[in-house]
Structure 1
Amino acid sequence: MEKYTVKKVINKKDINVEVPGSKSITNRALMLAAISNGKCKLSGVLFSDDSRAFLDCLDKLGFKLEIDENAKTVVIQGENGRIPNNEATINVRSAGTAARFMTVLLAVCGGKYTLESSEQMKKRPMSELLNKLMENGVEIEYLEKEGHFPFKLNSKGIGETKISIDTSKSSQYASALLMVAAVNGMEVNLTGSRPNGAYIKITLRMLEQFGIKFEKNNNTYNIKKQEVKLDAYEVEPDMSAACYFYAMAILLKVKSVVKGIHLNSMQGDIKFLTVLEKLGCKLTDTSAGVEVDGASIDSYPGIEIDMSDFSDQALTMAVVAAFANSKTIIKNIDHIRGQESDRVAVIATELKKLGCKTEIIEEPETDVVIEPGVLHGCEIDTYEDHRVAMSFAMAGLVIDGVIIDNPMCCRKTFENYFDVLENIY
């Protein structure tokens, strides 16, 4: 499917949907299960381009896997911090988590590896992490552009060391180090603007769930060498995916429930529901899942909001802002310029096509100003970015003529997203 014309919703009805497992939690669980000792059964697993890339890497590294996509389960035979194949070639495709997590895993455990990726991933930053690894004795040979994929990695292992890592551009570097530290022992010091960010919190919570003990002193974590062992783990539904359907509650003025999502979720994007509440929605945590009720809202105001800690929803918020009755300012989102696309530029460019006036403010932090206008249909470029496709499709539920170019880039995290939309109609 090269293009998808979104159907404007005429007969509105309440939304009740199920979303895949969390990408962030799935790939962290795969990593932690791989370093554990013995079999670990993961349930509620997300199967998408990103998670399949991660599983393919584990397979190439020699890990024994039992995969059942219908049952949403993966059983991994952990090798107690050892990689079965100490020489291999892996391809992380476009998966940022696989790229960062695998690089650290291979460096810490040791061996000779070639790491390849998609063209999109070659553009994403890796130099800060790779430089830190080289400072600790890891040999990196760049095969194309310095500081980027692809490269060869030769390591005798890393352990009993101290590493400081900046969280400003990507917290995935820090998460990778924190998870793999238990293999040989490591002290990890988090610097930069997001040492206590949402994804760091998910990582720390999952360390606890997998029984990994650590000592915390301010933003420094001391993790001793230890055995990791867990028989089974349940992955939460993906809060990032759920937010599209919760945003539809305010856009379509209906009630929306996403199965299995609850207000005690450890995922940072749960904060988006608080934003919807400020705009007038009612939140109820039911036994089935959180209900967001936008049925009684005639119109809603714009908002000034710092999204530095749940920036995966910046695109979702931008589309919601397009239908507000006053100006919205999305603040502190400079770090999303280096994701699957330059999402700051995408917000400004694609909202202008819809009829909004937009402005990017660079200093002191990167903010986007969105002023609603007379909205109309247009063709949305997706930049091979799944979140662009899924968020801008929401606009087409409200106005005629929205066409999504390359919609199936959503396979990265939510491969049947447009099927779910069809069912909502």
Structure 2
Amino acid sequence: MGKKLLMVLMAVFLLASGAYAADVKFKGSMTNLVGTIDDNDGVALGDDAGFGFTRLRFQVDVASDDGLAKIVYAQEVGATEWGATDGANGKGFKFGGDTVNIETRFAYAQVALGPGFVRLGLQPASVNTYVWDDTGAGLTYTYKDDCISLFAGVYPESNGGIFDSAPEAWVVKGDYKVDDTTTLGGFFVYNDQTGDASRYYLGFTGSTTIDPVALAWDVIYEGGEENANVDRSAWLLHVNAGVKVDDQLKVSGAVLYATGDNNPSDDKNKTFDFFEEGDAYFGILTGDSMLSAWKTADFTTDYGYLGLMADATYQIDDKSNVRGAVVLHRTAKDTDNDKKDIGTEFDVWYNYKYNKNVCFRIEAAYLISGDALVQDADNVFYAGAGVKFKF
């Protein structure tokens, strides 16, 4: 009854919006994937001889006719497994119906203020791929012109109020477009946690093209206090270099290094603590895949992470391309068994653009497992085929 009432109210609102000169826009996407996984305990994706899942995102923007204000509301059916009767967080598409799968993704108001705009509510929180690239409820201000982009925001946590002694996250971010080929940026995030714990991130980012090489980088320092007796001091470095060989072939290489710590008894924690990261790593198993909408392997441990990747993309025609990659996964520090090798991953993707809204993909990964996380670990195999509709 409640869902039907909500649908009726939304329909009435949308029908009436024309009378109030509101501009209403819809956008969204749906991803469906079927596949198979043969896993081990170190990767922890879970064995699944055959699976299917669906993720649906739907968003409506309602703006005033002068463009000075708008509200945004978005819902998500987040990567729900077919046939599951009690999946993660009670989600699943069981026989005869579904469980509670819908969640609020965005719910915010945006109002123009001077040369920028203010947002209030649950909104995107895209600070940096390796720190925070998700959503957060708070108060933010954004300024943009042809060369400069500035952002500032505060996000309360737990059950505390904003601007009080409760845990909060404060963000300041800026980017400067030097010229048509170079952009430099930086950000600062302070997270006041419970008790004596706190952490902050200071990052420097950028991208440039030195023909024919395109470079991008992130250098991030994490500081703060884990507790009254232990300080945080950690680093992350990411560098990517790509070359467009011709109109069809592009090759690239990348490195990602996050410091680790194998001495828990000292007074300094050197393990880089990913805050609320997005798909932060290399390869299909750790995020660069349709599978990542549902689950990913987590190779980050107290021992840190070192990833080395080489990949190439070949554009077959206007509608299709194929991509391959080799990824070396390692820990930054020796584990308890004096090992660093997590494994070597081989990936392949095939993409076919059916039309401007629909794309098909086939993807597969094979990991030759090392001994860093699990002794004598089995190798890992994943293959999937999916379709994404976006409007």
How does the TM-score come out when normalised to structure 2? 0.27
- Structure with the larger strand share: 2
Between 1 and 2, higher relative CO (CA 8 Å, sep ≥ 6) is seen in 1
- Structure with the larger helix share: 1
